[in-house]
Amino acid sequence: MHFDIANLTTSAVYKLLTGLVVPRPIAWVTTLNPDLTVNAAPFSFFNAVGSEPPLIVLGIGDHPDRPKDTALNIEQTREFVVNLVPESLAQAMSDSAANLPRNVSEVTELGLATSPSQKIKTPRLLDCPACLECTLERILQIGGNRIVFGNVVSATVRDDCVADSSKLHIASDQMKLIGRMGGPGGYTTTQGIFQIERKK
Ligand SMILES: Cc1cc2nc3c(=O)[nH]c(=O)nc-3n(C[C@H](O)[C@H](O)[C@H](O)COP(=O)(O)O)c2cc1C
């Protein structure tokens, strides 16, 4: 079956892309609101896109009537934390996507525990197994998308998710992260790892 993108509505293109590009990692992004409360929202248009310098990217759309708080906060503070989402926090992560008024903190509303970050002012989510502290590299506005590039300046990983710290081996499966699949409520776990031997 062929889909001609030019003849599809925006919502149809969204369904097609998010159904096909799976699984997607989820960045549960914390930012500081102007009143210094903590905003949290999930973004699955997210990935690591380079290591020299270490770069991550987020694709942030708009609410129907206004820009998303996350984008405004990143523009203002020039920093954010990407918290990686474990299965145990799936429901809270989903609930944090509610369209709350600006300056209403999802972290306060949902009773999420935070912890100070190492290098930036924005706190991380304490119960996530890993987080990446980021400073803003730049934002590209392309149509209705704000493409946010972040420099990763610090990483915190729960001790039991580090298999060998001297070799920087992360026990990725131990983090029990979830990923986004197609459909309105579709998610996947990250269990079921398999290895492919590299040919010399
Ligand atoms: C799993 C998941 C992934 C999401 N990914 C994105 C995304 O990549 N880009 C986006 O603009 N919104 C995404 N959303 C919707 C935002 O989380 C939602 O609009 C949220 O209210 C934004 O909050 P804010 O205004 O506090 O920034 C996603 C929602 C969920 C549940």
* pLDDT reported for residue 143: 95
The separation between CA 184 and the C-alpha centre of its own chain, rounded to angstroms, equals: 17
Q: Whole-angstrom Cα distance, residue 63 to residue 28? A: 17
The alpha carbon of 141 and the centre of ligand 1 are apart by a number of angstroms equal to 17
Q: Please state, for a pLDDT cut of 90, what percent of the chain lies above it.
A: 96
161: pLDDT strictly greater than 90: yes
Tell me how far the alpha carbon of residue 95 lies from the centroid of ligand 1, in angstroms: 10
Tell me the average pLDDT across 167-175.
96
Residue 120's pLDDT is what? Answer: 98
Residue 37: its pLDDT value, please?
Answer: 96
What is the DSSP-derived secondary structure letter of residue 26? Answer: -
CA 53 / ligand 1 centre spacing (Å):
26
Instruction: Report yes or no on whether pTM surpasses 0.85.
Output: yes
146 lines ligand 1 (CB under 6 A): no
pLDDT band at 8 (very low <50, low <70, confident <90, very high): very high
Strands (E), the chain: 24-25, 27-32, 38-43, 46-51, 54-60, 79-84, 114-115, 124-125, 130-142, 145-157, 162-164, 169-170, 178-180, 187-189
Give pLDDT, residue 13. Answer: 96
- The protein residue with its alpha carbon nearest to ligand 1, atom 19, reads 97
Query: What's the whole-number average pLDDT of the chain?
Result: 96
Chain segment 38-91, per-residue pLDDT in tens: 999 999 999 999 999 999 999 999 999 999 999 999 999 999 999 999 999 999
Residue closest via CA to ligand 1's atom 23 equals 41
* Atom 18 in ligand 1: residue holding the nearest Cα: 97
Cα(105) to ligand 1 centroid in Å equals 15
Ligand 1 mean position to 99 CA, how many Å?
9
CA dihedral over 70, 75, 77, 83, signed as positive or negative: positive
Per-residue confidence (pLDDT) for residue 153, from 0 to 100: 98
Going along the chain from its start, the domains and CATH numbers come out as: 25-189 (2.30.110.10)
Ligand 1, atom 20: nearest CA belongs to which residue?
97
